[in-house]
């Protein structure tokens, strides 16, 4: 069911917005929502981080390591993780 929803969203959003809503990006958005509460995001948890940095953080399983990398990137104005 989830795969069908993501496929349907991609089919609708890509023609309308051109880029940013590929199946891969939508799955990453789902992972972001599952791993980080919306409140954290709204409070600036990812301030100054680019989407590529956030995706990199999602792939880090160890929460302490992910937090360290997130703070490093923020301190260094979005430096590569």
Burial of 31 (0-12, 13-18, 19+ CB in 10 A): middle
The CA-based angle 61-54-51, given to 5 degrees, is 155
Domain layout of the chain by residue ranges: 1-35, 44-81
Does 34 have pLDDT greater than 70? yes
Q: Output the pLDDT for position 36.
A: 74
Burial of 36 (0-12, 13-18, 19+ CB in 10 A): middle
**Dihedral, CA atoms, 35, 48, 24, 6, nearest 10 degrees?**
60
Does the pTM exceed 0.85? no
Helix (H, G, I), strand (E, B) or coil at 18: coil
Helix (H, G, I), strand (E, B) or coil at 59: coil
pLDDT in tens, 37-61: 665 665 566 777 788 877 877 777 6
């Amino acid at each position: 069911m989830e795969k069908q929803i993501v496929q349907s969203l991609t089919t609708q959003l890509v023609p309308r917005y051109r880029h940013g809503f590929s199946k891969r990006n939508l799955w990453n958005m789902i992972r972001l929502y599952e791993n980080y509460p919306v409140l954290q995001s709204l409070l600036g948890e990812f301030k100054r981080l680019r989407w590529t940095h956030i995706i990199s953080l999602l792939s880090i399983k160890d929460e302490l390591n992910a937090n360290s990398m997130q703070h490093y990137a923020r301190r260094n104005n979005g430096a590569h993780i």
